[in-house]
Amino acid sequence: MKLIVHIVILSLAAIVILGGIVFVVIDMFTRVEYLKSKISWLGKVLEWRSSLTALLVVATFLVIGDGYELFIKEVPEVPAPPVFIVKAPLPPMIQVRALGPLREPKNSLRRRTMQLANEMEKYLLMRATNPEPPPTATPNSNNPHPSEEEKKAMAQWQQYQRETSDYYFAHYRDRMIGIIKEYDAKGVKTGYLESDARQFPPYIVMPGSAAEGVCMDTLCRFREVAYHIDGGDSLIVITP
């Protein structure tokens, strides 16, 4: 409500000031007599020139005073803009835990390789060192017509070897071929190892023989491929 009153007062004062300015301009350009002839009441107004001047002064002070009061009391003070303080976030806490040495699984590829090689070696050594094996008897080109007793001895020897092969084919061959294929899939070169494993039992070097320590037999070559992968079954690649 107070704001409306201030606006009305300022409007009336502005009208008075504007009217006074208009009369002054008219008087300056000596158009008073002409306007008096056209507008009858203008002459009476101009006769009150002193009163008009006082009215202009009052209106001017009224505009100044009321405008000041309106600006100070009615118009709210614009609050200062808020101050934002941006703080950098704390760095995240990183906990580093030392990992222990990698424990190789019990069923890793190279563990299964060594386990199977040991099983086959134990069986083949047992068959080769049997306290009562049949005597070695093989065909001889120098004796194209062996006797019945020699034929019987050869038959016993061949039967013994056949039993060894049959046991190998039934218990070890598929496992050995499966492991060799796993090495092939990882990029390990196995050569003729799979072909040999399909056809006959692994050849082993007897302990104490001249060939012991030389990696020429099938079991030694089978063990050797295990050194081309790590405990996580990944291929070991050595670059220069």
Q: pLDDT tens, 135-187?
A: 888 888 787 788 888 888 888 888 998 999 999 999 999 999 999 999 999 99
Measure the CA–CA gap between 108 and 105, rounded to whole angstroms.
Answer: 5
Residue 95 counted as domain residue: no
Residue 58 counted as domain residue: yes
Residue 51 counted as domain residue: yes
Do 44 and 150 share a structural domain? Answer: no
- What's the mean pLDDT in 21-49? 52
pLDDT at residue number 135: 81
Domain boundary among 28, 49, 74: 74
Q: Regarding predicted confidence, which is higher, 130 or 18?
A: 130
Do 48 and 118 share a structural domain? Answer: no
Measure the CA–CA gap between 141 and 139, rounded to whole angstroms.
Answer: 7
- Tally the domains of the chain: 2
The Cα-based distances of 90 to 83, 86, 94, 204 in angstroms read 21, 12, 12, 68
Both tokens of residue 131?
């306290």
Both tokens of residue 173?
């061959």
Q: 3-state class of 229 per DSSP?
A: strand
Full residue range of the structural domain in which residue 198 is found: 109-228
Q: Quick one: which of 198, 208, 205 has its CA closest to 223?
A: 205
Residue 123 counted as domain residue: yes
Measure the CA–CA gap between 115 and 107, rounded to whole angstroms.
Answer: 10
Do 43 and 149 share a structural domain? Answer: no
Do 27 and 136 share a structural domain? Answer: no
**pLDDT digits 0-9 by tens, 220-230:** 899 999 999 99
The Cα-based distances of 88 to 36, 82, 84 in angstroms read 79, 19, 13
Half-sphere exposure of 95 (CA within 13 A, CB side): 1
The gap from C-alpha 182 to its chain's centroid, in whole angstroms, comes to: 30
- What's the mean pLDDT in 117-124? 94
Domain boundary among 74, 91, 125: 74
Kindly report the three-state secondary structure assignment for every residue of 73-106.
Answer: HHCCCCCCCCCCCCCCCCCCCCCCCCCCCCCCCC
Q: Is the dihedral of CA 121, 125, 127, 128 positive or negative?
A: positive
The gap from C-alpha 156 to its chain's centroid, in whole angstroms, comes to: 68
- What's the mean pLDDT in 52-61? 57
Widest Cα–Cα separation across the chain: 174
pTM greater than 0.85 (yes/no): no
